[in-house]
Amino acid sequence: MAKWTAADIPDQNGRVVVITGANTGLGFETAAALAERGAHVVLAVRNLDKGKDAEALIRQRSPGASVALQELDLTSLDSVRTAAAQLRSEHDRIDLLVNNAGVMWTPKSTTKDGFELQFGTNHLGHFAFTGLLLDRLLPVAGSRVVTVSSLGHRLRADIHFDDLQWEHGYSRVAAYGQSKLANLLFTYELQRRLASQPTTIATAAHPGGSRTELTRNLPAWAAGLTLLVEPLFQDAAMGALPTLRAASDPQALGGQYFGPDGFAQGRGYPKVVGSSRKSHDVGTQKRLWNVSEELTGVVFPV
């Protein structure tokens, strides 16, 4: 069977795409590939200076590319609401939302709203952003919400409902696992709620082992280990392929999860892959959804 590559992305002319964390790494490669295929791509980024550099590089790669910037700080619900309001005022429709931005293995810290940083950024920020934009996707045939998870959703991962914000002890590895498991629980519950909608689906993806700036917060021991295994990692362009397939493959179905086809899903070309047993627990999906609505104050229109 032929391997799926960026060359398989269908024509994207007329589509409006919003990608979080699109100034670097996987998000940048996702944005560049979709812009090259003709999409109008909005780079939703925290640092506008880095966003401008990314925009210029995309235009350099694809002269005539349609690219715009939107300031978005996922660690602030005020910023999430402001960004969503601005996007809603500028776009009557959104065809694709890619929840890509994230942090990994950070020291113990909190978002501006007091959430544990990894859970607040990787899950709650994207949960709120999606909920505030969803009614711009629902009327659009073929629209999608793609959320980027990680192999880390299996690593010491659980949803600690008794201490979601890690106020009683902290493990940066387990906190990251919780946030990435939450990404999948969110995707599956969102797809269940979208099942009655004929237009919009929710999918997820993970990049395997990829060389990106996500590792910038690693502790010294992990950074040293990463240097040893980094030659086994794939570059960001390859790591973005599962996201791109989840976002654009006409055959993709709601609730599917895409990752690399190589050994242990560490590298390779994108295919539909499985996720952990915990990610498919319907009770946990529903409970996390309800808690997320309470914490963010965002209620979905589905």
What's at 284, amino acid-wise? T
Closest CA to 17 of 34, 29, 33: 34
Q: What share of the chain is helix, strand, coil (3-state, %, to 5)?
A: 45, 15, 40
Question: What's the start-to-end Cα distance of the chain, in Å?
Answer: 37
Instruction: Please say whether the beta carbons of 127 and 296 come within 8 A.
Output: yes
What backbone phi and psi angles, to 5 degrees, belong to 288?
-60, -40
Told to judge if 269 belongs to the known catalytic residues of this protein, a careful annotator would answer no
Alpha carbon distances (Å) from 73 to 177, 191, 197: 21, 25, 30
The residue assigned the tokens 């040293």 is 224
Task: Say how far apart CA 61 and CA 132 lie, in whole Å.
Answer: 32
If you ran DSSP here, which 8-state letter would residue 155 be given?
Answer: S
What's at 103, amino acid-wise? V
Task: Say how far apart CA 46 and CA 36 lie, in whole Å.
Answer: 23
What's at 225, amino acid-wise? L
Out of 170, 176, 188, 269, pick the active-site residue.
176
Instruction: Please say whether the beta carbons of 268 and 209 come within 8 A.
Output: no
Question: Which residues form the catalytic set?
Answer: 176
